[in-house]
Amino acid sequence: MIGAGPPPGGHWLKMPPMNAVVDAAAASATPVPQDRLKLTEIFLSLQGEARDAGWPTVFVRLTGCPLRCQYCDTAYAFHGGQWWEIDAILAEVARHGVRHVCVTGGEPLAQKRCLQLLARLCDAGYDVSLETSGAIDIAGVDPRVSRVLDIKTPDSAEVERNLWENLALLTPRDQVKFVVCSRADFDWAKQVLSRHRLHEVCDVLFSPSAMQLPARELAGWIVAERLPVRFQVQLHKLLWNDEPGR
Ligand code: SF4
């Protein structure tokens, strides 16, 4: 229920007290480099996409991506960033006091320790989703995570990066997303859908590429062809138009 506010006494989740997290970190005298990840930002907003759209969500945006999709709206996450201990990430997520956490990028799985972070977030009781490009093996992702896996279309300019073996690993917890740039992309996505019977495994999302394909056009094609997919527009773009940190 959005907007009802947390229960008396604070958070929806039972969180460890902040000072306990800080004390635990302080107790280890030397930093443990293998527990670090490079982050671009952590912020609280509304989930704008996929099954959890509309939920207040903490976004953990990891730095770096080996792809260069022509429509990318997070190129600022390709470089830079700051190293964070996983304990510190958990403490910052807890500070926001919501149930949903989305680990995104960039391509979060490009940093191997992302797998550790995902498992730790699940252990802490969060409802965790992962946004991934579909170009990196998802086999090691904690099964409690809902994976939102892109399939890159020809007009993304990165179609050859699709790791097709990932499709055999999908479960009903997961979601597959096509960002559609043109009618040719739509026809291609339709073929992939039917060849792999993806809609029989998990939810399949079709999004129009902002600025390239009018949303109404894509919606009309889906209805006309009665495709077993969910049309979606990016809620955060409607609300905040790519304002940083929202
Ligand atoms: S995979 Fe995502 S972050 Fe990487 S270039 Fe493509 S849209 Fe941008």
pLDDT of residue 109: 98
Give pLDDT tens digits for 1-34.
333 333 333 344 444 444 434 344 444 455 546 6
The SS3 assignment for 200 reads helix
Q: Is 135 in the pocket of ligand 1 (CB under 6 A)?
A: no
* In a domain? residue 149: yes
For residue 89, the Cα-to-chain-centroid distance in whole angstroms is 16
Which pLDDT band holds residue 187 (cuts at 50, 70, 90)? very high
pLDDT of residue 216: 97
Q: Which two tokens stand for residue 215?
A: 């949303």
High-pLDDT (> 70) share of the chain, %: 85
Whether 108 shows a pLDDT value over 90: the answer reads: yes
Q: Which two tokens stand for residue 85?
A: 């201990």
* In a domain? residue 7: no
pLDDT of residue 31: 52
Give the DSSP H/E element, type plus range, for residue 127: strand 127-132
The model carries a pTM of 0.86
Start-end of H helices in the chain: 18-27, 86-96, 114-123, 183-196, 215-225, 235-240
pLDDT of residue 236: 81
**Which domain, by its residues, includes 70?**
33-240
Nearest residue to 58 (alpha-carbon basis) of 35, 18, 89: 89
pLDDT of residue 241: 79
* In a domain? residue 44: yes
CATH number of the domain within which 132 lies: 3.20.20.70
Domain count along the chain? 1
* In a domain? residue 228: yes
pLDDT of residue 243: 73
Q: Is 91 in the pocket of ligand 1 (CB under 6 A)?
A: no
pLDDT of residue 198: 97
Give pLDDT tens digits for 131-159.
999 999 999 999 999 999 999 999 999 99
Q: Which two tokens stand for residue 125?
A: 């009781």
Give pLDDT tens digits for 56-90.
999 999 999 999 999 999 999 999 999 999 999 99
Are 242 and 216 in contact by the 8 Å Cβ rule? The answer is: no
Q: Is 131 in the pocket of ligand 1 (CB under 6 A)?
A: no
Residue range 191-212: mean pLDDT, rounded: 96
pLDDT of residue 29: 55
Q: Which two tokens stand for residue 220?
A: 């009309």
Q: Ligand 1 pocket: which of 61, 69, 71, 160 to mutate (most atoms <8 Å of CB)?
A: 69
Name the phi and psi angles at 151, rounded to 5.
-115, 115
pLDDT of residue 2: 32
* In a domain? residue 61: yes
* In a domain? residue 21: no
78-82, 126-130, 232-236: least confidently modelled range: 232-236
Residue range 106-122: mean pLDDT, rounded: 98
CA nearest ligand 1 atom 7, residue: 72
> With the CA atoms of 83, 89, 92 and 98 taken in that order, what torsion angle do they form, in degrees rounded to the nearest 10?
140
pLDDT of residue 223: 98
* In a domain? residue 28: no
DSSP state of 7: P
Q: Ligand 1 pocket: which of 62, 71, 74, 237 to mutate (most atoms <8 Å of CB)?
A: 74
Residue range 103-118: mean pLDDT, rounded: 98
* In a domain? residue 16: no
> With the CA atoms of 62, 100, 136 and 202 taken in that order, what torsion angle do they form, in degrees rounded to the nearest 10?
-160
21-25, 43-47, 179-183: least confidently modelled range: 21-25
Residue range 224-245: mean pLDDT, rounded: 87
